[in-house]
Each structure stands twice: as structure tokens, then as C-alpha cells.
């Protein structure tokens, strides 16, 4: 049983991964109730289920029985968000290089954030 400030599908997923058999979502339905009564509750709960369905599909899970503790990763408190210093270097109009440690990566289209 998990009852501690659940606000969205990610919170439900994490609670299930940490061993909860069921998750209370009281805060959400109270918000819906306060805004639009029963219709608001229905809307909020449908939105939560839709978000949870999307999260499950994107993460590659077909059902909740597949969610395990290994589904969430926990870093030690000493872990930094960025492991190494990254420096962007601009050459010319669109020649961008990113220096990450000893690696130098060229981005000829000028967009170092594009993944494909």
C-alpha cells in the first residue's frame, strides 16, 4: 500500500516498482472534485490512467506484473547530474564541437542536442 502525495503516473509507477500492491491517489480526485464535481473526478482519473498507459508503453511494459524494483534506478546522493564537464565550441557559422572529457564531437548542422 502506498499513500504519499501521488500526483501523476510516474509516481504510481515508482510506487509499484518499490513493491506497493496498490496506490492511493486521493489528492488527484479531490482536485477534480473541487473543480468540476463528479465530472472532474472522472476527468482526472481518466487522465491519470491514460498517462500511466503511455508511460507503460514507452517504457516497454505490457502489464503491471512486469514492473520490478529494477525498473527504477536510484543514484547515490553523491552522484552528480552531469558526470563530466562539457564545453561547446563554436567555429564559423554552424560548426559546433562539444568537448566532453577527452572526446571531441562535431555537429556540422549546429545542433548538439539533436539525437538523430
Would residue 4 count as lying in a domain?
Answer: no
The model's pTM:
0.61
Instruction: Tell me, yes or no, whether 23 and 49 share the same domain.
Output: yes
pLDDT, residue 116, reads 47
Asked if residues 115 and 105 have their Cβ atoms less than 8 Å apart, the reply is no
What is the arithmetic mean of pLDDT over 20-38? 88
Instruction: Tell me, yes or no, whether 21 and 45 share the same domain.
Output: yes
Domain range spanning residue 103?
A: 81-116
Instruction: Tell me, yes or no, whether 33 and 63 share the same domain.
Output: yes
Asked if residues 46 and 33 have their Cβ atoms less than 8 Å apart, the reply is no
Would residue 41 count as lying in a domain?
Answer: yes
Residue from 70, 46, 12 nearest 2 by CA = 12
Instruction: Tell me, yes or no, whether 49 and 94 share the same domain.
Output: no
Would residue 2 count as lying in a domain?
Answer: no
Task: Report the C-alpha gap between 7 and 12 in whole angstroms.
Answer: 8
pLDDT over 70 (residue 7): yes
Grid cell for residue 41: 473526478
How many independent structural domains does the chain possess? 2
What is the arithmetic mean of pLDDT over 28-48? 90
Instruction: Tell me, yes or no, whether 66 and 23 share the same domain.
Output: yes
Instruction: Tell me, yes or no, whether 24 and 57 share the same domain.
Output: yes
Amino acid at each position: 500500500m502506498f499513500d504519499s502525495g501521488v500526483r501523476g503516473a510516474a509516481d504510481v509507477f515508482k510506487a509499484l516498482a518499490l513493491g506497493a500492491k496498490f496506490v492511493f491517489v486521493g489528492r488527484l480526485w479531490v482536485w477534480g472534485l473541487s473543480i468540476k464535481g463528479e465530472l472532474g473526478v472522472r476527468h482526472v482519473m481518466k487522465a491519470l490512467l491514460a498517462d500511466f498507459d503511455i508511460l507503460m508503453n514507452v517504457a516497454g511494459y505490457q502489464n503491471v506484473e512486469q514492473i520490478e524494483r529494477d525498473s527504477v534506478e536510484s543514484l547515490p546522493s553523491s552522484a552528480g547530474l552531469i558526470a563530466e564537464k562539457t564545453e561547446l565550441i563554436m567555429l564559423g557559422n554552424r560548426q559546433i564541437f562539444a568537448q566532453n572529457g577527452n572526446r571531441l564531437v562535431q555537429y556540422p548542422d549546429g545542433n548538439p542536442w539533436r539525437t538523430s
